[in-house]
Amino acid sequence: MSNKELPDDFFKNLPDRIISRISKEEHSQELLSHSKILATLPRDNPYTVPPEYFERLANRKITNPRVIKMWTGITSIAATVLIMVLIITGNSVESDIIITDDDILTYYEDNVQEVDAYMLSDLIVMNEEETLIEEYILEEIISDLSDEELELLNQTL
């Protein structure tokens, strides 16, 4: 028989197939020697998954951490500026405070070393239909605020 009649990678995969078969036979023998009941039970998988679950799982995106870091940096700076303004102005603050992009950039230029741009660099898996980054970041920022800061934020919003 010439090699052309064999499946691709036949010899490459042969050792693994043999080892796998030996391992399965050893396992069956071991199980039989310990428990005839378990050895004879059918090992059908009782669990199922939604249709095409694995096709969809493989296609979910694991987001590049650099994108998250950029979002994190920008959002945390904006939140920090907002909180700083609230703290400085206290209860006398008007409810229509507007933080401009210039404010954010100025704060960024002055305080960039103090901003922990990596605090939310944990990765997020996103479904194609889901864009939860903003929600996730907002939750994380809010969870870092003190009670006083939260109260102040509540009064302003």
Partner 1 sequence: MEKISDNKILELIDNEVTFDEGLKKLIVKYQEPLYWHIRRMVHVHEDADDVIQNAFIKVYRGIKKFKKESKLYTWLYRIATNEAITFINKKKRNSNYYSEDGISDLENTLKADEYFDGDEIQIALIRAIEILPKRQKQVFRLRYYDEMSYKDMAEVLEISVGSLKASYHHAIQKIETYLIDNIDYVQ
Site residues, partner 1 (CB under 8 A): 9, 13, 23-24, 27, 31, 34-35, 37-38, 41, 43-50, 53-54, 57-58, 60, 62, 122-125
- Cα dihedral 6, 9, 12, 15, rounded to 10, equals -60
Q: Which amino acid is at 82?
A: L
- Tokens linked to 138: 């907002």
User: What is the smallest separation between the CB atom of 43 and partner 1, expressed in angstroms?
Assistant: 7
Closer residue to partner 1 (CB): 93 or 126: 126
**Closer by beta carbon to partner 1, 17 or else 105:** 17
At its nearest, how many Å lie between partner 1 and the CB of residue 34?
4
**CB 55, min distance to partner 1, A:** 10
Q: What one-letter code names the amino acid at 52?
A: E
Is the backbone of residue 9 left (phi > 0), alpha (psi -120 to 50) or beta?
A: left
Identity of the residue, 1 or 37, whose beta carbon is nearer to partner 1 in the bound complex: 37
Minimum CB distance to partner 1 smaller for 11 or for 54: 54
Is there a contact between 33 and 89 (Cβ–Cβ < 8 Å)?
A: no
- Spatial separation of the C-alpha atoms in residues 129 and 106, rounded to whole Å: 35
State in angstroms the smallest separation of the CB of 65 from partner 1.
Answer: 8
Strands 125-126 and 61-62: antiparallel
